[in-house]
Structure 1
Amino acid sequence: MGDLPSINDLLGDTQSSHKSTRPAPAVSPEASLHVASEATEEQFEKKMQKVAVKEKETETQRKAATLGYPHIDLSAFPISHEALKQISQEDATRLGVVCFFVNQEEIRLGALDPTTEEMHTFLKNMETRTYTKGVLYMISPSSLSRVLDLYKTLPHIKPISKNVEIASSDLEKVQADIRDFQGLQKSIEQVNTSDLVTFLLGAGLKLEASDVHVEPEVENAVIRLRLDGMLHDAATISKEAYHKLVSRIKLLSSLKLNISNKPQDGRFSINMSSGDVDVRVSSMPTVYGEGIVMRLLVQNREGLTLDSLGFRGEAYQLLMSEISRPNGMIITTGPTGSGKTTTLYAIMQLLNKPDVKVITLEDPVEYKMPGINQSQIDHSRDYTFAKGLKSILRQDPDIAMVGEIRDLETADTAIQAALTGHLILSTLHTNSAAGAIPRFLAMGVKPFLLAPALNAVIGQRLVRRLSDTAKVETLLTPEQQTKVDEIIASLPSKVQALVKEKKQKFYTAPEYTESGELGYKGRVGIYEIFTMNDDIEQSILSDKISEYDIERLAREQGMLTMAQDGVLKALDGITSIEEVFRVTEK
């Protein structure tokens, strides 16, 4: 102990170098006692607060046990942003409930009072939205307070560049202010030029537009929205406002401001409480300036089911049976914009389970799906569908989705995968389901491989849904009635009998009502689906095959055509005959 330096030894240099420094004033014993007592009191208060919180937690635990609910202390529980985002901050505060865990199978909620009917309804809605099983826990006020504080860590603003950003709160305010489509021109006249992008995005999201078009003309520019597949003129802006709007959109999407004579593509994202929105931007030079299109991709795909898409009856049962098979190939057909990829997303939503590996190959990836491995084609790096599919198969998937089969190499790889224990989902550009088989054979696919690989083929179109409040009963024109009678007469006998049992009623709607409401709101699919049977297999294996032959065999099997499905949906008041004929007549 004698070898250790004293405190004076350690401070010797300091003391010697500050010999002229005046000694520090002495602190009175009373002041020391006062400081010590304040520190002790503060420590005591903190300790008592912890004791009170612990007692409240114990009380909550006892109450939960009495009521038959599990209890959890969230004071130090790690909660991911993914779990937190399942419930908006407003709902969490209002209802006293938070989500603290979510995966593909289960969602766990903590509530101050899990016994209320409102809470059980909320839980059921969460189960429906997330396709999971819900479990309700009881939590203490301190647990709720701690989780509510975590909402501050969520990103509410998506920075796009150094000088430009869009606040989700501004978008939500615009959505709340917009009442109907016809009021857009009046509203846009009151918007500052700097807020024009926010206004257009908010309007597009409120009206559920898929695209916002900015089209320059000689003296002004026209804003158009694509609603349910149809373009509508929404407003006109000055050329000055147009130039500022284009510059801001290009900044947001990281396009080059100094290039206006070449097409450019960009994108940006916005984080909103209702779900993220991806915005794909395309610019193209025209004689009056750059034409801009913003595609709005809302990432929240809740409620996406085969039933909500319009599958029903025997078509629904057939498809459910085919997607439950472990291998084979399911193909959706139709032109661009007919909902083929959405159908495949709905199928994957059903098949996405923890014990199944699903991989997709898309061009581009439009919607992100939790639990699914999604890969995007990149032609600039020679990453094509054919090469990507070969890579996918080395990843040991159970299910693979290929965005489109365009060539023989992709088709052959997909068929080989379907024959070796994988379920393959893909699309083809043909006018009907029956046209898929001749298209495969025209690519050079061997008939003896195609026949056993193919499970089902779906043909589809999208028709606009009639608004329940705007639709009115209508009489068909003689020409329309003749076509409808022919289609009904061609229905399978069982379906035909059901149709003839009830009075024929058809409905229509104006594009806009007097109050400014849209006559059509949303879209629904009309479908035809056939599965493989011996007759169709033999037809494929024969030397002579045509789209007409395949359709005839499929209809003998009981297949409803798209036109037939459309007429049945029109009879049910879902859509109008004009819509059915618009999308099905060649």
Structure 2
Amino acid sequence: MAEDLPSIEDLLTRKTGAVTPTSDESVSGKAQAALSAKVAAVSVQGREDEARSAAAASGVQYVDLKGFPISPDALSQISDVQAQELQVICFLYTGPQLRIAAVNPMDQKVKDLLFQLEERNKAKGAIYQISPESFAEGFKLYSALPKIRKVVKGVQIKQEELAQYQSQMNSFDDIAKILAGANITDILAIVIAAALKMRSSDIHIEAAETKIEVRLRVDGILQEVAAIEADKWKKMISRIKLIAGLKMNISDRPQDGRFTIFQEGKKIDVRTSTMPNAWGESVVMRILNPDSVQLGFEKLGFRPAMLGKLLKEIDKPHGMVITTGPTGSGKTTTLYAILARLNKPGVNIITLEDPVEFKLDGINQSQIDSSKDYTFAKGLRSILRQDPDIVMVGEIRDLETAETAIQAALTGHLLISTIHTNDAAGAIPRFVSMGVKPFLLAPAINAIMGQRLARKLCEQCKVPLAPTEDQLVKINELLSSIPESSGEPKVDLANLSFFGPGKCDECNNTGYKGRLGLYEILLKDQAIEQFILSGEISEFAVRKVAQEQGMITMAQDGLLKALEGQTSLEEIQRTTGGLS
């Protein structure tokens, strides 16, 4: 039977009792090796011909990578793991042009990879057909790739690009005009450049029925920047997901990611969140600029008397210092300012955060992960076994965390944290409503601080502004009730002057530039401690006792700053509601 006949390779390598290789009766070793190589070459060539035919059938180009000069820059565009998985090699990269070669060029994963590479490099690319042998030849080059060279991930937004765009941006109108004429691959870089130029804390990009809305949160207020054509949404959201490390094929549920950009030697993290909406998805990118937390107390807006009281409390070796306020009221900035002041070589400071937003030198920062059952409460118990002097807990959310924090404060640790209440007086009833026992809470607390962020008036265009009669009544009531024990000088109620916002190029015609804090500090003294121990606790009663002991409220603090021309009555009402 024909199928029983031995192959040429078998005849060349088989040894039997009838035939024994000798110099006279067999092919010489060299001839055998040469013939084997020739047969192998014919076999390889056959597979190359098959690959060439497959390329023609698929409508792609063919390439043989054997001996092809592939640069390290090209090879490192794809990781060795991904190259092996998809049997694909990037064999050409010049910046504006790139080429990849795959054993299965019609594989959708290979096509998706090409799109990602094009988006990442702002390059035009193409897929070529190769044979398995050709792929193997190309893959060998990974072993020669320097281990220190990292495979590039994400979209590259260069500092030069940011600077170039920012040089053209002097107003929101400028940003809108630049975006209107921008290529889809440049839009994301332009939006980020605009956010940095305008000192924005958040970027909002939202799919709508007929457009893509772009807004920036500047000084706490969302500003409309531009409307982009709706047909650009698919590529725009793909680019955002690519840069933030999100899954490209998920659009029906929320995702969280982050990426990093560099500007003027600073590393700026951008935390990215997506969620589905009626017309596609909504994207919010929070810009975690390290400059926003590298502030001394003198730049946060504390008045001298109040600052002196706070510094006295954080210099104590144990107890709890709590900040309160809604999201976006500056609590994290205040906590980091406290940590920066306390951070000394002889002190062990450990933080527990969700997430770690800014890296602080000399401080051990730990991020909770509820998916792994690493909660604030469990993390705090672990921290207390690490011999800390000072502990910062990002937020006290439940009884377990509260009790552990109080135990830490009562056993020789200074603990600083936040709790979500509207003001300082509300924190004590909040602890009690969680289930904390008053006899433990009373000795643990050192100070509770309430805060808001108000916009600062633009110094270039602010204008004198007289309050209304109703406002004046409330202003006189608040200023006249500032206790003498607060340390604040007495206000001349007969000579009150205030300012309001104007319009100029310096502030983009908003009338405001920058923000400052409005604060109140409730200090625990004997009267407050006895009040907590009484068990008859209400927010109103706590505030009354605290004011009798010398606390000025956030609204009063705001009025004192408004009298100095730092902010407006409108901002005090918006942030504290104290003038109504």
1:292 corresponds to 2:270: no
Does the C-alpha gap of structure 1 residues 465 and 315 become closer, same or farther in structure 2, counting only changes over 3 Å?
A: same
- Displacement, 1:301? 5.0
1:585 corresponds to 2:574: no
1:387 corresponds to 2:378: yes
Separation in structure 2 between the aligned mates of residue 158 and residue 271 of structure 1, nearest angstrom:
18
- Displacement, 1:303? 4.6
SS at match of 2:200: coil
Indicate the residue corresponding to 2:566 in structure 1: 574
Separation in structure 2 between the aligned mates of residue 516 and residue 533 of structure 1, nearest angstrom:
46
For the 8 Å contact 2:503–2:511, the answer to whether it is kept is yes
- Which residue among 160, 170, 178 is the counterpart of 2:153? 160
Separation in structure 2 between the aligned mates of residue 277 and residue 270 of structure 1, nearest angstrom:
5
Q: How much identity, in percent, do the aligned residues show?
A: 53
1:357 corresponds to 2:353: no
Indicate the residue corresponding to 2:500 in structure 1: 508
Q: How does 1:477-488 map to 2 (within 5 A)?
A: 477-488=468-479
For the 8 Å contact 2:438–2:535, the answer to whether it is kept is no
Indicate the residue corresponding to 1:125 in structure 2: none
Indicate the residue corresponding to 1:239 in structure 2: 230
Indicate the residue corresponding to 1:203 in structure 2: 194
SS at match of 2:347: coil
For the 8 Å contact 2:352–2:393, the answer to whether it is kept is yes
Deviations 1:168-194, CA, capped at 9 Å, x for gaps:
221122222211223221121232211
Indicate the residue corresponding to 1:558 in structure 2: 550
For the 8 Å contact 1:158–1:270, the answer to whether it is kept is no
1:177 corresponds to 2:168: yes
Q: How does 1:35-54 map to 2 (within 5 A)?
A: none
1:267 corresponds to 2:265: no
For the 8 Å contact 1:406–1:428, the answer to whether it is kept is yes
1:377 corresponds to 2:368: yes
For the 8 Å contact 2:258–2:269, the answer to whether it is kept is yes
For the 8 Å contact 2:393–2:417, the answer to whether it is kept is yes
Indicate the residue corresponding to 2:10 in structure 1: none
Separation in structure 1 between the aligned mates of residue 422 and residue 293 of structure 2, nearest angstrom:
29
Does the C-alpha gap of structure 1 residues 502 and 176 become closer, same or farther in structure 2, counting only changes over 3 Å?
A: farther
Task: Give the letter for the 1:386 counterpart.
Answer: A
List alignment gaps of at least 5 residues for structure 2. 1-147
Separation in structure 2 between the aligned mates of residue 212 and residue 159 of structure 1, nearest angstrom:
25
Deviations 1:479-524, CA, capped at 9 Å, x for gaps:
2222212111211247786320783111111476699443111111
Indicate the residue corresponding to 2:36 in structure 1: none
- Which residue among 528, 533, 539 is the counterpart of 1:547? 539
- Which residue among 388, 391, 397 is the counterpart of 2:388? 397
- Which residue among 268, 293, 300 is the counterpart of 1:309? 300
Does the C-alpha gap of structure 1 residues 193 and 277 become closer, same or farther in structure 2, counting only changes over 3 Å?
A: same
Indicate the residue corresponding to 2:522 in structure 1: 530
Deviations 1:82-133, CA, capped at 9 Å, x for gaps:
xxxxxxxxxxxxxxxxxxxxxxxxxxxxxxxxxxxxxxxxxxxxxxxxxxxx
Q: How does 1:90-239 map to 2 (within 5 A)?
A: 159-161=152-154, 164-239=155-230
Larger gyration radius, structure 1 or structure 2: 2
Separation in structure 1 between the aligned mates of residue 457 and residue 292 of structure 2, nearest angstrom:
22
For the 8 Å contact 2:458–2:507, the answer to whether it is kept is no
For the 8 Å contact 2:195–2:201, the answer to whether it is kept is yes
- Which residue among 325, 339, 343 is the counterpart of 2:316? 325
SS at match of 1:356: coil
TM-score (norm 2): 0.71
Indicate the residue corresponding to 1:521 in structure 2: 513
Separation in structure 2 between the aligned mates of residue 400 and residue 416 of structure 1, nearest angstrom:
12
Indicate the residue corresponding to 1:366 in structure 2: 357
Choose 220-229 or 294-303, whichever is displaced more. Answer: 294-303
Separation in structure 1 between the aligned mates of residue 391 and residue 498 of structure 2, nearest angstrom:
41
Does the C-alpha gap of structure 1 residues 315 and 268 become closer, same or farther in structure 2, counting only changes over 3 Å?
A: same
Indicate the residue corresponding to 2:432 in structure 1: 441
Separation in structure 2 between the aligned mates of residue 289 and residue 510 of structure 1, nearest angstrom:
38
For the 8 Å contact 2:205–2:282, the answer to whether it is kept is yes
TM-score (norm 1): 0.70
- Displacement, 1:449? 1.2
Indicate the residue corresponding to 2:240 in structure 1: 249
Task: Give the letter for the 1:409 counterpart.
Answer: E
List alignment gaps of at least 5 residues for structure 1. 1-154
Q: How does 1:277-288 map to 2 (within 5 A)?
A: 277-288=268-279
Aligned length: 429
Does the C-alpha gap of structure 1 residues 335 and 514 become closer, same or farther in structure 2, counting only changes over 3 Å?
A: closer
For the 8 Å contact 2:293–2:337, the answer to whether it is kept is no
Indicate the residue corresponding to 1:72 in structure 2: none
For the 8 Å contact 1:333–1:457, the answer to whether it is kept is yes
Indicate the residue corresponding to 2:421 in structure 1: 430
SS at match of 1:177: coil
